[in-house]
Amino acid sequence: MFIIKNLYIDYIIKNLNIMKKIYLLALAAFALSFTVNAQLLEDNFEFYDLGDMSDQNPTVWNNWSNDPVGAPTENIIVTDAQASSGDQSGFIDVGAGPQDAMLLLGTQSSGIRTLNFNFFVPTGKTGYYNFQESIPAGANWALHIHFNEANAAPGTGTFAMNNTADPVAGESFIYPQNTWFTMSHEINMDDNTVIVRMDGKIAYSGDFFAETGEVAGVDFFAIDANNEYYVDDILYVDGQIAANDDFAADKFSVYPNPVQDILNIRSTTSVDTIAIYDVLGKLVLETAPDAISPSVNMSGLTTGVYLVKITIDGASKTVKVIK
């Protein structure tokens, strides 16, 4: 009887452990499914080989010719010359192409989508990208964004429309040269409008589409001989990104990512707090450095994916870090 009782207790304990694992997996699956539903695309270029993109990620990167393997000179270049986070970014210049890379967003015709990425234009150089309403590209265009258009106004960004009788006129913004800044595009496909923010400040709010009222991709193009720019930390979500004003916080980046022990925060002003959460949303580490470009020791955390929330002057931004 004693043996049977012990066996029964062991059986109950094992099943409770199994149920606990299932419960935790269910929570993780719920968290991941929530992320997938909200987050449609994320790319920080860290896991690609250096060189042209070719077929490294064909569901995300294509080119104007719709042939990344057959027309490799048009592809975005993976480089370690600059990076907003980690060690790598995407690079566009004239080169042998010129480069004419397409970021595929998946054709969407209703609702709100928000696209954020970090951008870097060297001093005196030119940058440019536009939104395409269909893929393959070229049939219908939406908003164009120029940086130092025609090499006439270094540090000034301007907007334009194509295939429309109502071009954007007199819209401009000032961007910092030779440093990373964030471009955010909140696209409302139901009323044909977009809000473009540069480091959290509204640079343009108005018409977006020219023809179809759809969003399908972004064309990163080397528009002239003076062209040279970098893109990194791309995030595309369904709906609005909560608290877009968070991007008004002083610019920062985290490195290395993936991290082994020490995560460094590169910032221009003092960082108030650093809070690290696991994929289930549990706070696992928090510190208040109150210092410029601080570091945080993650050596005590297990291998996995973490969300690192940085707060500067009361504004916060969260980035994903892999350990």
- The dihedral of CA 220, 222, 226, 229: what is its sign? positive
Phi-psi region of 132 (alpha: psi -120 to 50; beta: other; left: phi over 0): beta
Residues 74/65, Cβ–Cβ less than 8 Å = yes
The answer to whether residues 173 and 157 touch, using CB atoms and an 8 Å cutoff, is yes
CA–CA distance, 274 with 287 (Å, rounded to integer) = 5
C-alpha neighbours within 13 Å on the C-beta side of residue 157: 24
Helix (H, G, I), strand (E, B) or coil at 151: helix
The pLDDT of residue 165 is 42
Distance (Å, whole) CA 265 – CA 294: 5
Cα angle 18, 21, 24 (rounded to 5 degrees) comes to 150
Please identify which residue in the block is written with the tokens 């370690």. 80
**Rounded to two decimals, what is the model's pTM?**
0.67
Give the pLDDT confidence score for residue 201 in this predicted structure.
Answer: 86
pLDDT by residue for the chain (323 residues), tens only, comes to 444 444 444 544 444 443 443 333 333 333 333 333 366 888 999 889 999 998 899 999 999 999 999 999 999 999 999 998 888 999 999 876 799 999 999 888 888 999 999 999 999 999 999 999 888 888 888 899 999 998 999 999 998 876 544 445 557 899 999 999 999 999 998 888 899 999 888 899 888 876 777 889 999 999 999 999 999 999 898 887 644 444 444 467 788 888 989 998 887 778 889 999 987 778 999 999 988 889 999 999 999 989 888 888 777 788 888 89
Helices (H), the chain: 2-38
Direct distance between the N- and C-terminal alpha carbons of the chain, in angstroms, rounded to an integer: 50
| Residue linked to tokens 């082994």 | 260
Residue 183: which of 234, 224, 227, 249 has the closest Cα? 234
CB 135 within 8 A of CB 107: yes
CB count, 10 Å around CB of 304? 11
Residue 203 CB burial class (10 angstroms; 0-12, 13-18, ≥19): buried
Q: How far is CA 109 from CA 106, 133, 228, 233, 264, in A?
A: 10, 9, 32, 25, 40
Other beta carbons within 10 angstroms of residue 15's beta carbon come to 10
The one-letter code for the residue type at 56 is Q
Q: For the chain, how many residues are written?
A: 323
If one counts every other C-beta atom within 10 angstroms of the C-beta of residue 101, the result is 27
Angle of CA points 140, 75, 159, to nearest 5°: 45
| Residue with tokens 């250096």, as numbered in its chain | 50
**C-alpha gyration radius of the chain:** 23
